[in-house]
Amino acid sequence: MKVSYFPGCTLKTKATDLNEYTFKTAEALGVTLEEIENWQCCGGVFTMAKDEVATKLSSVRALKEAFAKEQPLMTVCSACHNVIKQTNHAMQTDKEFAAKVNRYMADTPYEGEAQVYHYLELLRDVVGFDAVKEKVSDVLKGKKIAAYYGCLLLRPGKVMQMDDPENPTIMEDFIRAIGATPVVYAKRNECCGGYIAMESPSLAKKNSQGVVENAKAQGAEMIITACPLCKYNLIKNGADIPVVYFTELLAIALGIKEDTHE
């Protein structure tokens, strides 16, 4: 199947491995990713001000392009996914906002028709975790892996609709699908402190260290995430177990990449 793909800025700069393994693993699973032409920054965060339209236009353009191609739009960065999904929801539910956006666009109106997937959702709902399981080796068997969701992947729950934001299972089910053992711990969906790192480095460090120590206390040998900012913050603040993108683990399980985390 063919899927429109929005990479986002970080995946083209500091998180190129997240981008690379997304493409390679999708191809191995029968999914062709078609990068949105002339995409621009998603805006970084979804601003709540109702009169803020300009920062959301790039997301709407990406959504419109995917819809015009009759393809779903897929993202993998937690922040990009959050912005695009919330923007699409606003186009569906806020007529005043949608009217303002469409006056800017000056062409065919868009009303939120595109289907938006995070890569994890695509793996679960379209490819199927059972199909993933059939294609992976047992190279990760016995590896105890902690999923770190962070803030943006699941919230706001009524808009993102990926999983239960308080008791999620999608990443743990992914870990099982690639042959490893998931570690469930209390801080897996709490903030790493990334958005307060400049204002309060000490608090950001405390948050990050709390996440890592909590995961380790439950036996985790590794942490996986979908968020470049979360990965950066956890590593910067002293994580002493590997913190890797979930796509890298999928690449290892599929035999695309050698496991260097022994």
Summarised one tens digit per residue, pLDDT across range 126-158 is 999 999 999 999 999 999 999 999 999 999 999
Summarised one tens digit per residue, pLDDT across range 59-69 is 999 999 999 99
Find the angle CA(161)-CA(150)-CA(30) to the nearest 5 degrees.
Answer: 60
Ranges of beta strands (E only) in the chain are 2-5, 32-35, 73-75, 116-118, 144-147, 181-183, 222-225, 243-245
Higher-pLDDT residue of 107 and 160 is: 160
* CATH 3.40.50.11810 domain residues, the chain: 129-253
- pTM here is 0.96
Taking domain 129-253, whether its CATH number is 3.40.50.11810 is answered by yes
* CATH 1.20.1050.140 domain residues, the chain: 2-118
**Architecture category of domain 2-118 in CATH:** Up-down Bundle (1.20)
Give the span between the Cα atoms of 53 and 56, in whole angstroms: 6
Tell me, rounded to whole angstroms, the distance of Cα 89 from its chain centroid: 17
Give the span between the Cα atoms of 195 and 79, in whole angstroms: 12
